[in-house]
Amino acid sequence: MKDNTMKKSSVVILIGLMLGLTAIYPLNESSKTFVDAQSTAPLISMPVEYVNYTVSSVNGNLWAFVDGTYPIQIPQSSVGQELPMIYPMPTGVTNISIELNGQDVAFGNLTQADPDMFHYTYLGDWQIIFFTIQPATPNFVLTIHYQHPIIQANGTNMFLYNLNISGYLSNSSSKSTAYFNILFQTSCSGINVYTVPGQGAVPLTDTRTPVNFTISKGNGAQTVTFKIVSGYSGQPRDELVTFHEWQTQVPKFTSWTIEFSIIIVTVAVVVVVVAVLLFYFKKRKPESLLRLTLKVLSCQMKPLFHLFDLIHKVPNGRNHPFLINLSRKKPNYHGDCLQDNRV
């Protein structure tokens, strides 16, 4: 009976904290109600956070690779104590890793333990992971990595970052700035950044507020940078990025276009060669000039007929009399075709 009571109390604590959930929210397991949890939880602050995204194509699908760095401060009196925390994760998330000052931190999936435990976002309900840390100093750094597929709706790609940090704001720490750096390794256009209502926002409307950002280009990629400042008296909100991916059109070649291209190129080469011969050998005998011209044409036409044979795969195509005649001597395209003492 005692175990059941403790389990229900933990669920009550988590539900209450979800009302003002942040990206990483501290919990107080010793508390029995949401009110007690709010009043007895250690004062924790995070003046800045750094979020790096990499958008890449994986097996033809767009994925977001997320690396968050969170410098956190707690009172000296809380040093050495266990600090339970929760973190919402996007749909389809994989490769989650958490570190405290460079040391791995174990985590569990709260939503799997209780399917009713979800975190609301503008793009749907997210699952929640939980973990416990025991900082040895008042200042420490949490790093969290994960990957998730990017959502596509009506031709628009979008992803969301849970920016609600109300649990880190207080009268003594009333502001926090999130710095975003998004590297697009895929060709895209129409990039937009917004803030949208987060869980606990009142009213919870379908409102997008544009965010100013800058774009830099280099090495075939685009980097989007911006910052979002959250205040103690502000409404909970999240960050939303939308964009369109360029679809590279691959030219489609048909047998007819290949043949036509080969003919055009071959004719152009022949014309140039004949023009050069006429210029340099205009004083030779007409019959010698004619014989030389025909020989050059034979050398130039041989690869053309071989290509036709390859494209059409004509049965016995290699037995064509003209091809047999041209194949008797393999020409040296560095000039052997023009070596003839009779000219």
Q: What are the pLDDT digits (tens) for 179-209?
A: 999 999 999 999 999 999 988 776 777 889 9
Using DSSP, state whether 208 is helix, strand or coil: coil
- Measured from the Cβ of residue 105, the count of other Cβ atoms closer than 10 Å reads 17
The dihedral of CA 11, 13, 16, 17: what is its sign?
negative
pLDDT tens, 83-103? 999 999 999 999 999 999 999
C-alpha 71: how far from its chain's center?
Answer: 26
- The whole-angstrom separation of Cα 279 and Cα 69 is 74
Chain centre distance of CA 102: 25
SS3 (DSSP) at 164: coil
> 8-67: per-residue pLDDT in tens?
333 333 433 433 334 455 553 332 222 233 344 568 899 999 999 999 999 999 999 999
pLDDT above 70 coverage of the chain, percent: 62
Strand order in the sheet with 188-197: 151-153, 156-161, 237-245, 188-197, 209-210
CB contact at 8 A, 243 and 188: yes
Q: Residues with Cβ < 8 Å from 244, sequence gap 6 or more?
A: 155, 156, 157, 188, 189, 190
User: From CA 214, how far away is CA 227, in angstroms rounded?
Assistant: 10
- Of 20-24, 70-74, 266-270, 333-337, the range with the highest mean pLDDT is 70-74
Which residue ranges make up each domain of the chain?
43-245, 255-338
Mean pLDDT of 295-305: 59
Average pLDDT over residues 219-227: 94
Rounded to a whole number, what is the largest CA-CA distance in the chain? Answer: 117
Out of 2.30.29, 2.60.120, 3.40.50, 2.60.40, the CATH code matching 43-245 is 2.60.40
For the record, the structure tokens of 79 come out as: 């040093």
CA–CA distance, 140 with 100 (Å, rounded to integer) = 7
114 to 10, 13, 117, 256: CA distances (angstroms)? 12, 14, 6, 63
Is the pLDDT higher at 288 or at 55?
Answer: 55
pTM: 0.63
